[in-house]
Amino acid sequence: AQSVAQPEDQVNVAEGNPLTVKCTYSVSGNPYLFWYVQYPNRGLQFLLKYITGDNLVKGSYGFEAEFNKSQTSFHLKKPSALVSDSALYFCAVSPNGFQKLVFGTGTRLLVSP
C-alpha cells in the first residue's frame, strides 16, 4: 500500500533563512509526487509536482522540491522564507499517475519576522 510520511508536525524558521519541509514516500511503481499548501479554513493550493525528468522541480511562490529515488524522499525547499509562507503544507503521492492521491499528515510552517 502506498503511504506518505511527513516526520515533522511543525517547522520553525526565521524570515530570510532557507526552509526545508520533509517528505518520504512508499509506493509500488513510479511515483507521481505533489506538494500542496493550505491557509487557515481554506482549500489546498497546488505548489509543484514531480512526474519524471529533472530531480529538482520548481513551483509557485519560489518553492522547489528535490526528488531522491534512492532515499524515497521529496523534500520541499525555499532559499529565503517569508512570513507569508506560514501555512500548512501537504505532500501527496499518486502511484503510477492514477489520480487517487494519498496525503501525508501535513507540516505546519511558521516563519517568524
Q: Tell me the residue type at 106.
A: G
Tell whether residue 28 is a contact of another protein (CB under 8 A): no
Q: Which stretch binds another protein (CB under 8 A): 14-22, 64-72, 79-87, 92-100?
A: 92-100
31-38 and 87-95 beta bridge pairing = antiparallel
- Compose the 32-71 pattern: x for residues touching another protein by CB under 8 A, - for all others: x-x-x----xxxxxx--x-x--------------------
Q: Would you say 58 and 64 are in contact if contact means Cβ atoms under 8 Å apart? A: yes
Longest dimension (CA), the chain: 42
Nearest distance from residue 9's CB to another protein, in Å? Answer: 8
